Amino acid sequence: MKPQALCVCAAVVIAGCVQDNAPPPQLLLVQSLVDAIAVVETGGELNPDSAIGDIGLTPSRGRYQISRPYFIDSGIQTTYQEAWSNPLIGQQVMLAYWARYSGVKRGLNTPITMATAEWMARTHNGGPKGYRKQATVKYWRKVKTTLETRYGNH
């Protein structure tokens, strides 16, 4: 291919990526979101893996504040104690829970947009329809602030 033709192809590809001068959506990894959720859920807890949060009918536990119904909904085959006390298992529970309610399987290294991160965080906090609940907006703001502080503006 001639150098001129290569330049024209590159210009077409670049022009195709930028539409109406809109910047491409900022992406972050699911792992970053999971880490931010852990910070928000347990704050300054010295041992986040043994944190006990919501004390209502179904207490939430561990660094991700997983409740028994959340764990059961995830479908992960392990014990509830393992799900909240082992951060690696807890992450798998979260991924499975999100996959169940979104229909999309994601790994920790999957890039997502901030809009998807918001849906995931609000669903984690408020249940399957948590993204619709006004009560989860404040939670999302905390997670978003943590993401921006730790990983830069998105």
What pLDDT digit, counting tens, does each position of 1-19 carry? Answer: 444 443 433 333 333 333 4
1 falls within a domain: no
Domain that holds residue 123: 23-151
Any domain includes 31: yes
Domains in the chain, number: 1
- CA atoms 150, 28, 61, 90: torsion sign: negative
Q: pLDDT at position 45, please? A: 77
Average pLDDT rounded to a whole number, residues 139-150: 95
Does residue 114 have a pLDDT over 70? yes
- This prediction has a pTM of 0.79
Contact yes or no for 105/132 (Cβ under 8 A): no
Render 13-37 in DSSP notation, one character per residue: HHHHH-STTPPPPPEEEHHHHHHHH
Interior angle at CA 153, CA 105 and CA 61, nearest 5: 50
Lookup: tokens for 3: 């150098």
Residue 9 lies in a domain: no
Q: Is 36 inside a domain boundary?
A: yes
**CATH number of the domain residue 44 falls in:** 1.10.530.10
Residue 10 lies in a domain: no
Give the separation between CA 60 and CA 135, rounded to whole angstroms: 17
pLDDT in tens, 25-77: 578 899 999 999 999 999 867 777 777 776 666 789 999 999 999 999 999 99
pLDDT at 49: 79
| 4 in a structural domain | no
Looking at the domain assignment, is residue 104 inside a domain?
A: yes
Contacts by 44-52, CB closer than 8 A, 24 or more apart: 49/84, 49/85, 49/86, 49/87, 50/85
Give domain status of residue 94, yes or no. Answer: yes
